[in-house]
């Protein structure tokens, strides 16, 4: 009676996923490292069952060095992709970056509504 289950799988791009969902192992591990309980992680990622979350955490704890190396590779990949996207002069990306700067300025400096409209018009 061997009913062993696999809680972690590799998708077509080599990313590790939990169960049959698109939720990455990265997401569950980072939440766990931040001190979130499996129940809280379940609230953050409803497609996952508690069993899958416990399975993912168990996988991480049993393979910590391997998973940490994987997470490091993933971070490097995201850094490379981020740098590539920053070098792209896509008008939509430029508009989104301008909006992000605007939102940051408003939240940091408490700009008045009139100045917000003036600043927004200048973007």
Q: Are residues 47 and 5 in the same domain?
A: yes
Residues 49 and 19 in one domain: yes
Looking at the structure, tell me whether residues 48 and 74 fall in a common domain.
yes
Question: Average of pLDDT values for 63-91?
Answer: 87
What per-residue confidence (pLDDT) applies to 97? 77
| Residue 122: per-residue pLDDT | 60
Tell me what percent of the residues of the chain surpass a pLDDT of 70: 85
pLDDT at 29 over 70: yes
Tell whether 70 and 111 lie within a shared domain: no
How far is CA 9 from each of CA 5, 21, 23, 28, 55, rounded to the nearest angstrom?
11, 10, 11, 14, 12
Q: Is the domain of 54 the same as that of 99? A: no
pLDDT at 116: 55
Predicted TM-score (pTM) of the model is 0.67
Residues 71 and 97 in one domain: no
Number of domains in the chain: 2
Residue 22: DSSP 8-state: S
Residue range of the domain that includes 2: 1-87
């Amino acid at each position: 009676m061997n009913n062993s289950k696999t809680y972690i799988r590799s998708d077509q791009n080599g990313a590790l996923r939990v169960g049959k969902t698109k939720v990455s192992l990265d997401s569950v591990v980072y939440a766990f490292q931040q001190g979130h309980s499996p129940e809280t992680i379940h609230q953050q990622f409803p497609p996952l069952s508690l069993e899958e979350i416990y399975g993912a955490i168990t996988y991480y704890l049993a393979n910590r060095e391997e998973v940490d190396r994987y997470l490091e590779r993933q971070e490097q990949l995201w850094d490379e992709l981020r740098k590539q996207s920053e070098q792209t002069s896509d008008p939509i990306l430029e508009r989104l970056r301008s909006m992000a700067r605007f939102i940051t300025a408003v939240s940091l400096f408490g700009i008045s509504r009139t100045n917000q409209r003036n600043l927004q018009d200048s973007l």
